[in-house]
């Protein structure tokens, strides 16, 4: 069915069957039906069900029941609404006629046979499928003019947005069509490359075939030569034997006994010698007829079966999954993945981390896993992390850099894994005691190498005046002796009256003041100033205990069965005073 432009508005056009040609603006630059002269049109009988509004500057006026020019029907927003109502009625009527025949609704026709320019109002008899169109069209007529103006503005804005989407869709279609062309070109190029590679393999196989055939021919010639030499040798030998036999027969026929006796011994020896010569492998073939060569084609066949495409491109940059990346205390967990549409094979990943001070990146993990936890970072530090993938073809670009902020303060509990077997844990490993009368050592889970850290230990039970020790230690400190007995621990041990500092079994700075049940022992580790200070019940106990501390230190406690302590970490209590320190904030 021939179609023409139905309307062109805001850069958008629609097409409908040729009998329905309604113009809202001036003639479209596209080809349209030429308007007929009025007298010719009046003489033409319009068939029932046809609507022919071919004059480009006229529209159907519902109120006046005739064709009107655009200045009077589109001069206001209300006129636009009325015209849109008529258009919707025409569309719904045509759809009904096209789908259900003439019995569904009636198309507006001119009043009187042969009348021109005056049309009857369409009948409201629409089918249920298109009655909603009629209702929508009637609703346009009853709207207020002010509301119609607002609606026109909203419609214009909506059309502008739709036009932008259509423009984007058009550009996207152009991109897809270009991809189709590029795929075809790449396919032709790849097929040519594949054919060339297979032809090269076939040529190499043919060359190897020629070499193997040459070896077979050499073996063939060698066998023939050996057999022919043996034939020649046997022929000569047989001729000699036959001659000897004939001579012996002639001698036997000789009637002179004396002459026979003279040569008989020599002939007998000659016959025996000839017989022995035939018996020394002379009658055995020197060469077999079989070719002792077997072509070992199994590896080549296996290689041919394994012949497949391999990715010749480096992987795409991995994507860091922010929802799975996190930090806890001084450890960071990072997770990444390949881009969703990437089909390049990846053999492994390289995770890099800087030093927390904006320095150079260093590799902290190389492997196939896509999640890694890095421990031993500095507290209250900012790290940058990035990851890249690699395969046989090379290394991918780096992913986006992820900035990680470690905890400002350390939250930790006691570590059952490194503790002595006599240590008893409770309260989610925050409370410890011992089942032995001897001192046993337990460490905290978190180690410190930088920054300012403070934690407290509350005395939950204190019986018979024991000497528990509190401080810091290396990971390999002795676990079956009092803290400070070796050179791997720096501690303060205290009873109910006084305390001492101890390192490498050296006791210093006896200070009055002890502990009881309910007392609190504070430990301040300042790795910026490299000092260790203690407090009891929020008062500093003695001078600065230890200086020049450097390395990795773990919170540590030694106790026996008469003591039970509870650890609290995370920040510095407001009431604690350390006059000699003067730094209470985290850095």
Q: What does the pLDDT read at residue 536?
A: 94
195 in any annotated domain = yes
φ and ψ at residue 564, rounded to 5 degrees: -135, 130
CB atoms < 10 A from the CB of 313, how many?
Answer: 13
Q: Are strands 440-443 and 431-434 parallel, antiparallel or unpaired?
A: unpaired
553 shares its domain with 430: yes
54 shares its domain with 110: yes
579 in any annotated domain = no
Q: What does the pLDDT read at residue 311?
A: 59
324 shares its domain with 274: no
What phi-psi label fits residue 394: left (phi over 0), alpha (psi between -120 and 50 degrees) or beta? left
Q: How many structural domains comprise the chain?
A: 4
- Mind giving me the DSSP string for 299-343? HHHHHHHT------SPPPPPEE-GGG-EEETTEEEEEEE--TT--
580 in any annotated domain = no
Q: Which residues contact 522 (CB under 8 A, 6 or more apart)?
A: 454, 455, 456, 457, 534, 535, 536, 538, 573, 576
575 in any annotated domain = no
Q: Are strands 394-395 and 382-391 parallel, antiparallel or unpaired?
A: antiparallel
Domain that holds residue 506: 423-569
Distance CA 491, CA 500 (A): 8
φ and ψ at residue 355, rounded to 5 degrees: -90, 5
- Mind giving me the DSSP string for 196-229? HHHHHHHHHHHHHHHHHHHHHHHHHHHHHHHHHH
242 in any annotated domain = yes
314 in any annotated domain = no
Q: What's the helix, strand, coil split of the chain in %, to 5?
A: 30, 25, 45
CB atoms < 10 A from the CB of 582, how many?
Answer: 7
578 in any annotated domain = no
26 shares its domain with 132: yes
> Digits of tens for pLDDT over the chain (587 positions)?
444 343 433 334 444 444 333 333 334 444 444 444 444 443 444 333 333 333 344 444 444 444 444 444 444 445 555 555 565 555 555 445 444 444 444 444 444 444 433 334 444 444 554 444 444 444 444 555 566 667 788 888 888 888 888 999 999 999 888 988 889 898 999 899 999 999 999 999 999 999 999 989 998 999 899 999 988 888 888 888 888 888 888 888 877 777 777 788 888 888 888 888 887 777 788 888 888 888 888 888 888 888 887 656 888 999 999 999 988 878 899 999 998 878 888 999 999 999 877 788 999 999 999 999 988 788 878 899 999 999 988 899 999 999 988 887 778 899 999 999 999 999 999 999 999 999 999 999 988 888 888 999 999 999 988 999 999 999 999 999 999 999 999 999 999 999 999 999 999 999 999 999 999 999 999 988 999 999 999 899 999 999 999 999 999 999 999 999 999 886 544 344 443 332 222 22
Q: Which of 399, 397, 394 is nearest to 370 (CA)?
A: 399
187 shares its domain with 136: no
CB atoms < 10 A from the CB of 86, how many?
Answer: 23
428 shares its domain with 559: yes
Residue 91 near residue 133 (C-beta atoms within 8 A)? yes
Eight-class DSSP state of 368: S
Write down the pTM of the prediction: 0.45
Chosen domain end from 251, 279, 307: 279
HSE, CB side, 13 Å, CA atoms: give it for residue 456. Answer: 20
20 shares its domain with 139: yes
123 shares its domain with 22: yes
Eight-class DSSP state of 164: H
Residue 491 near residue 468 (C-beta atoms within 8 A)? no
Take residue 202 and report the two structure tokens written for it: 């076939």
Distance of alpha carbon 371 from the chain centroid = 12
Chosen domain end from 373, 405, 437: 405
Take residue 332 and report the two structure tokens written for it: 């960071």
Q: Which of 106, 116, 97 is nearest to 37 (CA)?
A: 116
448 shares its domain with 516: yes
Take residue 142 and report the two structure tokens written for it: 């009853």
What phi-psi label fits residue 464: left (phi over 0), alpha (psi between -120 and 50 degrees) or beta? left
Assign 484 to helix, strand or coil. Answer: coil
136 shares its domain with 192: no
Eight-class DSSP state of 101: -
Assign 266 to helix, strand or coil. Answer: helix
157 in any annotated domain = no
Q: What is the CATH number for 401?
A: 2.60.40.10
368 shares its domain with 434: no
Q: pLDDT tens digits, residue range 308-339? A: 876 568 889 999 999 999 888 788 999 999 98
In 49-191 the beta strands, taken as DSSP E runs, fall at: 58-61, 66-69
Take residue 452 and report the two structure tokens written for it: 């300012």
Chosen domain end from 219, 252, 279: 279
Q: Which residues contact 103 (CB under 8 A, 6 or more apart)?
A: none
Q: What is the CATH number for 467?
A: 2.60.120.920
Rg (CA), the chain: 53
What phi-psi label fits residue 21: left (phi over 0), alpha (psi between -120 and 50 degrees) or beta? beta
Distance CA 430, CA 390 (A): 44
CB atoms < 10 A from the CB of 149, how many?
Answer: 16
477 shares its domain with 531: yes
Q: What does the pLDDT read at residue 245?
A: 87
């Amino acid at each position: 069915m021939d179609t023409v432009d139905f309307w062109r508005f805001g850069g958008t056009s629609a097409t409908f069957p040729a009998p329905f040609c309604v113009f809202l603006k001036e003639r479209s630059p596209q080809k349209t039906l030429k308007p007929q002269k009025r007298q010719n049109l009046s003489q033409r009988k319009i068939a029932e069900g046809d609507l022919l509004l071919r004059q480009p500057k006229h529209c159907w006026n519902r109120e006046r029941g005739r064709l009107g020019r655009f200045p009077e029907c589109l001069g206001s927003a209300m006129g636009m609404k009325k015209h849109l109502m008529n258009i919707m009625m025409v569309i719904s009527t045509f759809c009904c006629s096209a789908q259900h025949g003439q019995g569904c609704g009636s198309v507006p026709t001119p009043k009187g046979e042969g009348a021109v320019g005056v049309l009857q109002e369409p009948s409201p008899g629409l089918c249920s499928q298109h009655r909603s169109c009629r209702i929508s069209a009637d609703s346009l007529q009853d709207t207020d003019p002010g509301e119609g103006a607002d609606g026109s503005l909203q419609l214009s804005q909506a059309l502008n947005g739709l036009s932008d989407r259509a423009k984007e869709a058009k550009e996207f279609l152009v991109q897809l069509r270009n991809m189709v062309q590029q795929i075809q070109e790449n396919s032709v190029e790849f097929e040519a490359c594949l054919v060339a590679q297979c032809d090269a393999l076939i040529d190499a196989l043919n060359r190897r075939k020629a070499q193997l055939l040459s070896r077979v021919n050499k073996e063939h010639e060698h066998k023939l030569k050996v057999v022919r030499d043996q034939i020649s040798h046997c022929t000569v030998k047989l001729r000699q034997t036959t001659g000897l036999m004939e001579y012996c027969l002639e001698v036997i026929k000789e009637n002179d006994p004396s002459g026979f006796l003279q040569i008989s011994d020599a002939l007998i020896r000659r016959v025996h010698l000839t017989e022995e010569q035939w018996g020394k492998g002379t009658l055995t073939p020197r060469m077999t007829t079989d070719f002792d060569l077997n072509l070992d084609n199994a590896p080549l066949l296996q290689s041919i079966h394994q012949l497949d495409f391999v990715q010749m491109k480096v992987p795409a940059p991995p994507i860091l999954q922010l929802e799975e990346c996190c930090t806890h205390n001084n450890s960071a967990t990072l997770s990444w993945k390949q881009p969703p549409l990437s089909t390049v094979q990846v053999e492994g990943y390289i995770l890099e981390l800087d030093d927390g001070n904006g320095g150079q990146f260093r590799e902290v993990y190389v492997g196939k896993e896509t999640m890694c936890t890095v421990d031993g970072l500095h507290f209250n530090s900012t790290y940058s992390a990035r990851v890249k993938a690699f395969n046989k073809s090379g290394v991918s670009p780096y992913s986006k850099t992820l900035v990680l902020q470690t905890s400002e303060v350390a939250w930790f509990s006691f570590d059952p894994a490194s503790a002595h077997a006599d240590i008893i844990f409770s309260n989610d490993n925050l409370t410890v005691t011992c089942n032995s009368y001897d001192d046993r050592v337990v460490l905290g889970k978190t180690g410190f190498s930088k920054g300012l850290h403070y934690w407290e230990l509350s005395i939950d039970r204190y019986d018979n005046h024991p000497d528990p020790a509190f401080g810091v230690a290396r990971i390999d400190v002795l676990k079956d002796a009092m803290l400070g007995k070796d050179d791997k621990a720096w501690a303060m041990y205290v009873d109910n009256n006084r305390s001492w500092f101890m390192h490498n079994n050296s006791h210093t700075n006896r200070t009055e003041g002890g502990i009881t049940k309910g007392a609190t022992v504070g430990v301040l580790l300042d790795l910026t100033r490299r000092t260790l200070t203690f407090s009891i019940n929020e008062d500093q106990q003695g001078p600065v205990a230890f200086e020049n501390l450097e390395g990795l230190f773990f919170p540590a406690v030694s106790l026996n069965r008469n003591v039970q302590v509870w650890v609290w970490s995370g920040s510095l209590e407001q009431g604690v005073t350390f006059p000699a320190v003067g730094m209470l904030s985290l850095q």
